[in-house]
Amino acid sequence: MSLSSLTRSVAAGALLSLSASLSYAQDKPADHGDDASASYQPSLTTLGQIQVEIPGRKPGDPVMTPSEYQSSNQIYFQRCAGCHGVLRAGATGKALTTDITRENGYEYLRDFITYGSPAGMPNWGTSGEMTEEQVDAMARYLLLDPAAPPEWGMAEMRNSWKVVVAPEDRPTEKMNDIDIDNLFSVTLRDAGQIALIDGASYEIKSIIDTGYAVHISRISASGRYLFVIGRDAKVVMIDLWMKEPGAVAEIKVGSEARSVETSKFEGYEDKYAIAGAYWPPQFVIMDGDTLEPLRIKSTRGMTYDEQEFHPEPRVAAILGSHYKPEFLVNVKETGKILMVDYSDIDALKVTEINAERFLHDGGLDSTRRYFLTAANARGKIVVIDTKESTKVAVIESEGETPHPGRGANIMHPTYGPVWATSHLGDDTVALIGTDPEGNPDHAWKMVQQLYSLGGGSLFVKSHPTSNHLYVDAPLNPDAEISGSVAVFKIDELSQEEPEYTVLPIVEWAGIAEGQPRVVQGEFNKEGNEIWFSVWNAASLESAIVVVNDKTLEMKHVIKDERLITPTGKFNVFNTRADVY
Ligand code: DHE
């Protein structure tokens, strides 16, 4: 998918807000393009491609042909399911179950889809995004019961599981001269590939096929194995010791997924991998050598607060604890963080922590003991003590939609160790104290708010050896902002209104075509360079810009026709050791 179509389809996130009044005739309909947070809703494209049957007809059901139903289903998964749920039971958006849609009726739905509402519903019809026929079919589709996409259990996983090179056929020592610890795994999103790029020479060592709309990479504790997950829930395991690093195993863990991680606790290094799915709502623990699926656990269950059943709580970020043989699994819609003890996966012990709803991403503090994670639709950061398996705090980030990635750890001149997150919905950066021993007065409090380039930020980054905090803004509608990065000097953060320097990354890349977005800084192993992706449409030129962290000058631009839509970058050492 091209960047422009991605932006359009994610921009279309929340379809119907049926609680909104029908005041569209007087007010301007909401335009999701105006609001960066609305443009970052999941687009469940892979699920939309699955052929589904029209659910059994009941008296009074509207008539739809199978092809009308299939294409409406596809539109629903691309544009609406991210907010309203696969089964339309509601997620960050309202429920669209038939008890509600039938109460409102066909005309109401058709008009709502056509004109939108100021409360968040885009005007699909009048904007020309949907034809009259599509609007009519969508209104009828919503009056029918949702068709549940298929489950994906052990049989399906084992069928999809392939060991490409068996462990006994793999090298017993590293067979290449690559400095693996300084290698970067770069997501080539729309190509469904990753590029392995040498951190010193900037040379592309390999391009490896992975899953569809590939999302993130994580690295085994030893640094030998790289795990990559695509949005189609395909996990690819790559052996970095091979002469030519390549896939040694793969598996599909569901139909839609975003997260993968490996066991990092002492004694369990490289033993297990885990992947979480958006659909079906579940995670699976796999053998760390072969990806053999060992234990699947559903996340369906009660929401943490209202304690009502949720049929499809998605798995968001997963993190491997350094303090215990545990995985921390963020369950988005129930608002629970599961601490999954993998010391005996036959007698799996799961500590369920009530956190906050719509958990998304997060990372560790500088000691790696505390996990700070965003419940982004509720503007909160939840802190978990991974040593005690307890919740320590829930903090307001005081900005709209915190989106930390894994966050950034810096040594603040006044407040000591702090962790930072930027926000999707505004220009603020929240700094949270993380040192209960040395700085107890500031621990788990928002100690400072910085003002950066603008809304639409996704990632912040720093490094223990750096005096800089970098803040991107890739989803900002202004091309100058989405093409730049703000840099705060850490030793100047005690000033009343700390200023930032703007790095014109797109300009440095020398790319004039399209609106490339600068996304996700990632340091090299030494911490003296930071790399930024210049993410353009698939048909246009993209690049990676390397910045000298000391001088804040451009050091190098990596360009190659194989670098299609580069987004996330994962330095092997920093990712396996959780340095950020
Ligand atoms: Fe991501 C991490 C989900 C869109 C780039 N993204 C994550 C994580 C989740 C997530 C749950 C945490 C994984 C973990 O730590 O285990 N992302 C989602 C979505 O649901 C969403 C909003 C929409 C979708 O349909 O997927 C989405 N993500 C995007 C993008 O559009 C980005 C910018 C470009 C891309 O490549 O798709 C993007 N997401 C990333 C990156 C990370 C990530 C680079 C890892 C950051 C890190 O430093 O660890």
pLDDT digits (tens, 9 = 90+) for 69-90: 999 998 998 888 888 888 998 8
Which among 6, 190, 361, 542 is the best mutation to test ligand 1's pocket, defined by most ligand atoms within 8 Å of the CB? 361
State yes or no: is 412 an active-site residue: no
Map 438-451 to HEC letters: CCCCCECCEEEEEE
Cβ atoms 246, 227 nearer than 8 A = no
Q: Annotated catalytic residue: which of 215, 310, 322, 403? A: 403
Q: Is 99 exposed, middle or buried (0-12, 13-18, 19+ CB in 10 A)?
A: exposed
- How far is C-alpha 369 from the chain's CA centre? 22
Instruction: Verify whether ligand 1 is closer than 6 Å to residue 520 (CB atom).
Output: yes
39: left (phi over 0), alpha (psi -120 to 50) or beta: alpha
Amino acid at 293: P
Say if residue 23's pLDDT is above 90. no
pLDDT at 9: 28
Instruction: Verify whether ligand 1 is closer than 6 Å to residue 566 (CB atom).
Output: no
pLDDT band at 474; cut points 50, 70, 90: very high
Say if residue 15's pLDDT is above 50. no
pLDDT band at 7; cut points 50, 70, 90: very low
* Structure tokens that stand for 511 in this block: 């790319």
Say if residue 122's pLDDT is above 80. no
Helix 132-143 vs helix 66-79: angle between axes, to the nearest 10 degrees? Answer: 90
Say if residue 264's pLDDT is above 70. yes
Q: Annotated catalytic residue: which of 32, 215, 310, 360? A: 360
pTM greater than the 0.85 cutoff: yes
Distance (Å) of CA 137 to CA 22, 45, 307, 393:
21, 19, 35, 47
Q: Annotated catalytic residue: which of 80, 157, 237, 286? A: 80
* Structure tokens that stand for 122 in this block: 């885009």
Instruction: Verify whether ligand 1 is closer than 6 Å to residue 461 (CB atom).
Output: no
Instruction: Verify whether ligand 1 is closer than 6 Å to residue 316 (CB atom).
Output: yes
pLDDT at 40: 67
pLDDT band at 20; cut points 50, 70, 90: very low
Distance (Å) of CA 565 to CA 22, 390, 515, 543:
40, 39, 12, 8
Q: Give me the sheet containing 326-331, strands edge to edge.
A: 315-320, 326-331, 336-341, 349-354
State yes or no: is 83 an active-site residue: yes
Say if residue 172's pLDDT is above 60. yes
Percent of the chain with pLDDT over 70: 92
Cβ atoms 184, 531 nearer than 8 A = yes
State yes or no: is 121 an active-site residue: yes
Instruction: Verify whether ligand 1 is closer than 6 Å to residue 318 (CB atom).
Output: yes
Please report the DSSP string for 220-245 in residue order. -TTS-EEEEE-TT-EEEEEETTSSS-
d(CA 46, CA 212): 8
d(CA 6, CA 39): 10
Q: Which of 362, 370, 410, 417 is nearest to 389 (CA)?
A: 370
pLDDT band at 38; cut points 50, 70, 90: low
Q: Annotated catalytic residue: which of 1, 121, 237, 286? A: 121
Instruction: Verify whether ligand 1 is closer than 6 Å to residue 360 (CB atom).
Output: yes
Instruction: Verify whether ligand 1 is closer than 6 Å to residue 215 (CB atom).
Output: yes
State yes or no: is 84 an active-site residue: yes
Distance (Å) of CA 415 to CA 167, 307, 435, 490:
48, 38, 9, 11
Q: Where are the beta strands (DSSP E) in 334-441?
A: 336-341, 349-354, 359-364, 370-375, 380-385, 390-396, 402-412, 416-423, 428-433
pLDDT at 206: 97
pLDDT at 170: 98
Which among 40, 77, 215 is the best mutation to test ligand 1's pocket, defined by most ligand atoms within 8 Å of the CB? 215
Return the ligand 1 atom nearest residue 259 CA: 16
Cβ atoms 355, 329 nearer than 8 A = no
Cβ atoms 340, 350 nearer than 8 A = yes
Helix (H) or strand (E) holding 74: helix 66-79
Cβ atoms 22, 14 nearer than 8 A = no
Tell me which residue has its CA closest to atom 12 in ligand 1.
317
d(CA 199, CA 180): 9
| Torsion sign across C-alpha atoms 204, 179, 530, 229 | positive
Instruction: Verify whether ligand 1 is closer than 6 Å to residue 458 (CB atom).
Output: yes
* Structure tokens that stand for 499 in this block: 């200023």
Q: Annotated catalytic residue: which of 84, 412, 442, 463? A: 84
Q: Which of 446, 452, 451 is nearest to 472 (CA)?
A: 452
- Gap from CA of 215 to ligand 1 centroid (Å): 6
Q: Considering only 119-123, 124-128, 254-258, which range has the smallest mean pLDDT?
A: 119-123
Cβ atoms 373, 384 nearer than 8 A = yes
Which of the listed ranges 28-42, 126-140, 406-420 does the model predict with the highest average pLDDT?
A: 406-420
Which among 258, 321, 424, 531 is the best mutation to test ligand 1's pocket, defined by most ligand atoms within 8 Å of the CB? 258
Map 456-504 to HEC letters: CCCCEECCCCCCEEEECCCCCCCHHHHCCEEEEEHHHCCCCCCCEEEEC
pLDDT at 212: 87
- Gap from CA of 258 to ligand 1 centroid (Å): 7
Q: Which of 280, 281, 284, 282 is nearest to 272 (CA)?
A: 284
pLDDT band at 92; cut points 50, 70, 90: confident
Biggest alpha carbon–alpha carbon distance for the chain? 71
d(CA 247, CA 227): 9
pLDDT at 60: 77
d(CA 337, CA 143): 35
- Gap from CA of 36 to ligand 1 centroid (Å): 15
| Measured CA angle at 207 (ends 211, 9), to 5 deg | 40
Residues 337-396: pLDDT tens digits? Answer: 999 999 999 999 999 999 999 999 999 999 999 999 999 999 999 999 999 999 999 999
pLDDT at 121: 72
Residues 434-453: pLDDT tens digits? Answer: 999 999 999 999 999 999 99
pLDDT at 120: 66
Instruction: Verify whether ligand 1 is closer than 6 Å to residue 567 (CB atom).
Output: yes
Say if residue 318's pLDDT is above 60. yes
pLDDT band at 509; cut points 50, 70, 90: very high
- Gap from CA of 495 to ligand 1 centroid (Å): 33
Output helix, strand, coil percentages for the chain, rounded to the nearest 5.
Answer: 20, 35, 45
pLDDT at 57: 74
